[in-house]
C-alpha cells in the first residue's frame, strides 16, 4: 500500500512539473512574440505599414519558424495569435504551423513570421482551429515601410499579409501548403482544459498577466498607426 501511495505521489509530482514546464514554454513564446513585434515596428524602412496594422482583424506571430530542405521543403514553428473583439484584443491563443512545399530550395533557415489577418473571412479561418494556406486562405507577402501606401498593389481579396525576417532582413517568402492549427497542449497549460482556440480569440477567456507584454505590443502597433492616420 505504501509503495502504491509513493508511486502515485511520484506520478503526480511528474505531471505537475510537466504542466509547469509547458506553461513556462508558453510564457516564453509570448515574450518572444512581443519582442519580435516591437522590433519590427521600430524599423522605419522595414516595418509593417501603419494602414495594415490599423485594419488588422487578427495578428499572429510565430517566432523562429524553421524552414529548410533540399528540393522538398518543410516548415515548423509555434506561435501566438490575438483577434479584435468588441472590448479590445483577445487573450492570446496558441498556434502551430507546419507543412511541406516543393520547388528549388536548399538549406535551413529560421525566420520570424508575422501574419496580419485583414478580413472577417481570414479571421474565421483562424477561429476554425485548422486551415491550409493557399487552399483555405489566401496569403500574400505584405508591403513594408512606414510610408507604404494603402493603394500598394496588394490583392484586395487576400485574407492574410505575411511579414518574415531573418537576421534583421525581411524576406519575400511563400508559405503555400503550410497548415496553421491550434496548439492545444500550450493552450491547456496556460488556460486549463476545456478552453478552446475559438473561445479564446472571441474574447471569452480572461487575459493572464503573462500575456500583457504581447498584447501591449499589438496595441502599441495599432495605436501608433491610428495616431499617424489622424495626423494626416
Given a cut of 70, is residue 226 above it in pLDDT? no
In the beta sheet, which residues pair with residue 17?
A: none
How confident is the model at residue 65, as a pLDDT? Answer: 83
Per-chain mean pLDDT for the chain = 78
* 49 in Cβ contact with 143 (< 8 Å): yes
* Per-residue confidence band for 150, with pLDDT thresholds at 50, 70 and 90: low
Instruction: Mark out the alpha helices in 42-100 (DSSP H runs).
Output: 50-54
Average pLDDT (199-203) is 96
**Domain extent at residue 34:** 2-231
Cβ pair 115, 97 in contact under 8 A: no
- The answer to whether 175 and 130 have CB atoms below 8 angstroms apart is no
- Total number of domains constituting the chain: 1
Residue-wise pLDDT tens digits, 94-139:
999 987 554 444 455 678 889 999 989 999 999 998 999 888 988 8
Q: What angle in degrees, to the nearest 10, is found between the helix axes of 2-41 and 184-191? A: 100
Q: What is the pLDDT of residue 156?
A: 57
Q: How large is the average pLDDT for residues 64-79?
A: 64
pLDDT band at 225 (very low <50, low <70, confident <90, very high): very low
Q: Name the pTM for this structure.
A: 0.79
Distance of alpha carbon 79 from alpha carbon 97, whole angstroms: 8
3-state secondary structure (DSSP) of residue 146: coil
pLDDT band at 20 (very low <50, low <70, confident <90, very high): low
Amino acid at each position: 500500500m505504501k509503495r502504491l501511495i509513493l508511486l502515485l505521489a511520484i506520478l503526480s509530482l511528474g505531471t505537475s512539473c510537466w504542466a509547469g514546464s509547458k506553461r513556462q514554454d508558453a510564457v516564453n513564446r509570448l515574450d518572444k512574440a512581443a519582442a519580435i513585434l516591437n522590433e519590427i515596428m521600430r524599423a522605419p524602412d522595414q516595418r509593417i505599414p501603419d494602414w495594415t496594422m490599423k485594419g488588422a482583424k487578427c495578428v499572429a506571430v510565430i517566432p523562429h519558424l524553421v524552414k529548410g530542405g533540399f528540393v522538398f521543403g518543410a516548415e515548423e514553428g509555434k506561435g501566438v495569435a490575438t483577434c479584435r473583439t468588441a472590448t479590445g484584443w483577445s487573450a492570446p491563443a496558441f498556434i502551430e504551423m507546419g507543412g511541406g512545399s516543393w520547388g528549388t530550395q536548399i538549406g535551413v533557415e529560421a525566420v520570424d513570421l508575422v501574419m496580419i489577418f485583414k478580413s472577417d473571412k481570414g479571421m474565421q479561418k483562424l477561429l476554425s482551429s485548422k486551415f491550409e494556406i493557399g487552399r483555405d486562405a489566401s496569403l500574400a507577402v505584405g508591403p513594408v515601410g512606414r510610408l507604404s501606401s494603402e493603394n500598394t498593389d496588394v490583392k484586395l481579396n487576400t485574407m492574410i499579409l505575411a511579414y518574415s525576417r531573418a537576421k534583421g532582413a525581411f524576406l519575400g517568402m511563400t508559405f503555400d501548403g503550410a497548415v496553421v492549427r491550434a496548439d492545444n497542449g500550450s493552450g491547456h497549460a496556460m488556460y486549463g482544459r476545456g478552453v478552446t482556440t475559438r473561445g479564446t480569440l472571441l474574447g471569452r477567456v480572461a487575459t493572464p498577466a503573462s500575456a500583457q507584454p504581447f498584447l501591449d505590443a499589438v496595441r502599441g502597433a495599432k495605436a501608433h498607426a491610428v495616431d499617424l492616420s489622424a495626423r494626416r
